[in-house]
Amino acid sequence: MSKHGTVKKAVLAYSGGLDTSIIVRWLIEEYGCEVIAFSADLGQGQELDGIPEKARKTGASKCYVEDLREEFVRDFVFPMFRANAIYEGRYFLGTSIARPLISKKQMEIALAEEADAVCHGATGKGNDQVRFELAYYHFNPEIKIIAPWREWDLNSREALIAYANKHGIPVPVTKKRPWSSDRNLLHISFEGGILENPWAEPPEEMYLLSVAPEEAPDKPEYVEIEFRNGDPVAINGQALSPAQLLAHLNELGGKHGIGRADIMENRFVGMKSRGVYETPGGTILEEAHRGVEQITMDREVLNLRDSLIPRYATMVYNGFWFAPEREAMQALTDETQKTVNGVARVKLYKGHCRVVGRKSDTNSLFDPEVATFEADEVYNQADAEGFIRLNALRLRIRSAMQKKRG
């Protein structure tokens, strides 16, 4: 038994990179436990084929690799986009929304494997540890959670490499890039390192999913996206599965340099942090979704939903996906999306996209035939006088009484 308490079997969220490779070994050394590796394919575009061998070589007794791309987009990304959730006005929550799904599968494996612990490679200063662990606890409130970065003393790259060398863990020969990043089908994020100077523009070579706007085609491209119940279902008339659709939008957006964001954001743990993001498809998606909403959604519904965006987005950012308050908000959101059926036409050009047309055969509240109503049946200009006078009444009384009292 180790100093850390008894653990028999741990399921580790494993990427195959240096850090999680070291964690496999460290778990064995420190906890003396069996380690089961788990890698999720969320569209990070990384080769996962060799992963199981790699995991086993480093000491894992088993390795699960699961393709979660469709589930990710269908059950996590799309519900969130129905809510137009954007954190602090700028961040599309690409990393935040992935963590709950990874945790869910990891806990399913833990259950199947009768593991008594789960483990992740997130640091103690970030948001991801919270997101992972809130989800773990949701599925099993008594699970033992191991967060090596909060426990060990391998707090520098040098220490990690020394540990790897000592334990025969292969260290990648490529030089580490001066920032860290996280990628999936919705986005790639960059943070840390040279980005910690908030006044310095990020270097062009950092970006992976999009060309520089300056390098994008000189001719705009138009794309038509069809929505049903608030979810995108087809591009330019072609039906696509959720993951296919988002992948296709990523290609389009990346080609046109769309979806870069450079922000200072506020972490749940209480500090500000610089984050740079590429969300090519998601950026197009949000613009198109708003376009269809504009023509199909009632004014007051839109206002109500919009006023809740900061709250919904904060829930996702902070890791409260599997939480009753998020579910309540989702119920409202999904109710508002029942009418969001239609097509948006979006212009893509040099780093930016903009809706230039929208239509809905079934749910437009701007059907041109409204105009064929008899004028006085639907809109009588004289009505506006009474409308204004009663809207003004409380202000008029207030002014009149102020005046009277001097």
* Shortest distance (Å) from residue 357 CB to a second copy: 4
**Residue number with CB closer to a second copy (138 or 183):** 138
From candidates 3, 158, 214, 237, binder to a second copy by CB under 8 A: 214
**Residue number with CB closer to a second copy (205 or 369):** 369
Residues 298-357 that bind a second copy (CB under 8 A): 298-308, 310-311, 314, 318, 320, 322-325, 327-329, 331-332, 334-336, 339, 345, 347, 349-352, 354-357
Under a CB-based contact definition with an 8 Å cutoff, are residues 121 and 23 in contact?
Answer: yes
**Residue number with CB closer to a second copy (257 or 281):** 257
Whole-angstrom Cα distance, residue 80 to residue 97? 8
Q: Please check if 210 is assigned to a binding site.
A: no
Q: Using CB atoms within 10 A of its CB, is residue 295 exposed (0-12), middle (13-18) or buried (19+)?
A: buried
8 binds a second copy (CB under 8 A): no
From candidates 8, 157, 177, 389, binder to a second copy by CB under 8 A: 389
171 binds a second copy (CB under 8 A): no
114 binds a second copy (CB under 8 A): no
Tokens of 129: 């540890």
278 binds a second copy (CB under 8 A): no
189 binds a second copy (CB under 8 A): no
Q: Please check if 123 is assigned to a binding site.
A: yes
Residues 39-98 that bind a second copy (CB under 8 A): 84, 88-90
Q: Please check if 265 is assigned to a binding site.
A: yes
* Shortest distance (Å) from residue 57 CB to a second copy: 29
Catalytic residues: 19, 99, 128, 180
Q: Which residues make up each annotated binding site for L-citrulline? A: 91, 96, 127, 131, 180, 189, 265, 277
Q: Which residues make up each annotated binding site for L-aspartate? A: 123, 127-128
Q: Which residues make up each annotated binding site for ATP? A: 13-21, 40, 121
